[in-house]
Amino acid sequence: MWVIILLKRFAFVFCFLFIIPFTCYGADNSASSAVVIDADTKTILYEKNAYECRSMASTTKIMTALLAIESNMLDNPVVITAEMLDTEGSSLGLNVDDKITLNDLVVGMMMTSGNDSANAVAYFLGKDLKGFAQMMNSKAKEIGMKSTVFVTPSGLDEGEHHSTAYDMALLGAYAVKNETFAKVSAMKSADITISNKKVTVYNHNKLLAMDDNFFGIKTGYTSKAGRCLVSAKKCNGNSLICVTLNAPDDWNDHIRLMNECGKKYKKQTVNAEVKIPVVGSDAEAVSCKYKGEYYALGEVTVKLYYHPFVYAPIKKGDTIGVACVYKNNELIERLPMKADEDLNYAKQERSQTTEVYG
pLDDT in tens, 318-335: 999 999 999 878 899 999
The pLDDT, as a whole number, for residue 328 is 79
Q: Is the pLDDT of residue 157 over 70?
A: yes
pLDDT in tens, 211-255: 999 999 999 999 999 999 999 999 999 999 999 999 999 999 999
Q: Is the pLDDT of residue 274 over 70?
A: yes
The pLDDT, as a whole number, for residue 128 is 97
Question: Which of 23-27, 144-148, 271-275 is predicted least confidently?
Answer: 23-27
How confident is the prediction for the chain on average, in pLDDT? 89
Rounded Cα–Cα distance for residues 336 and 343 (Å): 19
Please choose, from the candidates 241, 293, 285, the residue with its C-alpha nearest in 3D space to the C-alpha of residue 266. Answer: 293
- Banded pLDDT at 28 (limits 50, 70, 90): confident
The pLDDT, as a whole number, for residue 27 is 56
The pLDDT, as a whole number, for residue 348 is 58
* Contact of 48 with 243, CB cutoff 8 Å: no
Rounded Cα–Cα distance for residues 232 and 48 (Å): 18
Burial of 279 (0-12, 13-18, 19+ CB in 10 A): exposed
The pLDDT, as a whole number, for residue 190 is 97
The pLDDT, as a whole number, for residue 355 is 41
pTM assigned to the model: 0.82
pLDDT in tens, 31-61: 999 999 999 999 999 999 999 999 999 999 9
Specify the pairing of strand 8-16 against strand 300-306. Answer: antiparallel
The rounded Cα 20 to chain-centroid distance in angstroms is 22
Q: Is the pLDDT of residue 62 over 60?
A: yes
The catalytic residues are 58, 61, 113
Please choose, from the candidates 178, 233, 203, 157, the residue with its C-alpha nearest in 3D space to the C-alpha of residue 63. Answer: 178
State what percent of residues in the chain have pLDDT above 90: 83
Tell me, letter by letter, the H, E, C secondary structure of the chain: CCCCCCCEEEEEEEEECCCCCCCECCCCCCCCEEEEEECCCCCEEEEECCCCCECCHHHHHHHHHHHHHHCCCCCCEEECCCHHHCCCCCCCCCCCCCEEEHHHHHHHHHHHCCHHHHHHHHHHHHCCHHHHHHHHHHHHHHHCCCCCECCCCCCCCCCCCEECHHHHHHHHHHHCCCHHHHHHHHCCEEEEEECCEEEEEECCCCHHHHCCCEEEEEEEEECCCEEEEEEEEEECCEEEEEEEECCCCHHHHHHHHHHHHHCCCEEEEEEEEEEEEEECCCCCEEEEEEEEEEEECCCEEEEEEECCCEECCECCCCEEEEEEEEECCEEEEEEEEEECCCECCCCCCCCCCCCCCC
Rounded Cα–Cα distance for residues 38 and 44 (Å): 7
pLDDT in tens, 89-141: 999 999 999 999 999 999 999 999 999 999 999 999 999 999 999 999 999 99
The pLDDT, as a whole number, for residue 329 is 83
- Banded pLDDT at 85 (limits 50, 70, 90): very high
Rounded Cα–Cα distance for residues 343 and 237 (Å): 37
Rounded Cα–Cα distance for residues 38 and 258 (Å): 11
The pLDDT, as a whole number, for residue 353 is 40
